[in-house]
Amino acid sequence: MSNVLKSEWKKVHLPVTATILLSTVAALILTSTVHLQYTMWHRLEAWELGTEYFSLLFPVLITLPLGWNLYYERKHNFVSYVLPRISMKKYLQAKWIVHAISAFFIIFVPYMLSAIWALYFINPTITKGVTPEHVFLEQFANTPLLYAAVLSCWKGLIAVLILSLCFVFAMYLENIFVIITGPFVYTVLENFILAILGLEEFRLITSFEPSTLAVSAISIFSQISGPALLCTMILVTKFFLHKMRKMSVTSL
């Protein structure tokens, strides 16, 4: 199994590393610049402001370096040649593990490094006085590094779920653009529909970035509902494509 994992990593290591590097540089630049136009009460707010665009574009950051891999292996019949050496289930498991770890780090590394950058390397002007409300205010104000680390990990886990949706698309669909943009379209549509229905607290974006809504709207349920809905979407998609449409990984 470890050899398969290594070989899978070799296939995606270049785009993944490049994405991590570019996102990190972009996050550091944005963290250093965006906060200059705002009044801040805590240092970590520079991080929140700087990574605002990432919260919107994170599905593309994950699918762009990873989504193409399985699709092209299917298109070029590579998966058929893998079958005599390893079972399809094991092969897909290994691929998913490598992709999931990559997706986790594509999100975790830029977020974590920009948090460290905001806390220790830049010098924002901090306003003193009554602090406005914030989710987990105590941790946010007193242990900001721990807060940023936990939130970055959480974001990384949501990235794994987005990757899983992309992976299911890549397993069965024939259109590379649906595979790559599908998860992004899902997050935007889910965001739009739930906002229209007045259920903003249950959106995936709320779970990904809890500070987007008022503190009163955030609860454990609001944190879990977005990912739970996404998990349901992944399972339904897999069931629909595999069981109902009878699509298979080897047929492209």
Query: Contact between 33 and other proteins (CB under 8 A)?
Result: no
Tell me the number of residues near other proteins by CB under 8 A.
18
DSSP letter (8 states) at residue 30: H
Q: What is the CA radius of gyration of the chain?
A: 20
* In the complex, minimum distance from the CB of residue 200 to other proteins, in angstroms, rounded to a whole number: 7
Choose the binding region for other proteins from 1-9, 110-118, 190-198, 222-230 (rule: CB under 8 A): 190-198
Whichever of 52 and 116 has its CB closer to other proteins, that residue is 52
- How many CA atoms are closer than 13 Å to the CA of 158, on its beta-carbon side? 30
Write the single-letter amino acid at 86: I
126 three-state secondary structure: strand
**Counting contacts by CB under 8 A, is residue 247 touching other proteins?**
no
Among positive and negative, which fits the CA dihedral 180, 186, 187, 189? positive
Rule CB under 8 A: choose which of 104, 184, 186, 202 binds other proteins: 184
Contact flags string 72-101 toward other proteins, x per CB under 8 A:
------------------------------
Buried b (16+ CB within 10 A) or exposed e, 117-149: bbbeebebeeeeeeeeebbeeebbeeebeebbb
Shortest Å distance, C-beta 238 to other proteins: 20
Alpha-carbon gap, residue 122 to 229, rounded angstroms: 38
Which listed range, 38-46, 117-125, 173-181, 241-249, lies at the site for other proteins (CB under 8 A)?
A: 173-181
Report the residue number, 100 or 222, with the smaller CB distance to other proteins: 222
105-134 positions binding other proteins, by CB under 8 A: none
| Contact (CB, 8 A) for 17 and 25 | no
**Single residue of 177, 220, 244, 246 touching other proteins by CB under 8 A:** 177
**Residue 111 backbone zone (phi > 0: left; psi -120 to 50: alpha; other: beta):** alpha
Q: Does 200 interact with other proteins (rule: CB under 8 A)?
A: yes
Where on the chain is the footprint of other proteins (CB under 8 A)? 53, 56-57, 60, 175-178, 181-182, 184-185, 188, 192, 195-196, 198, 200
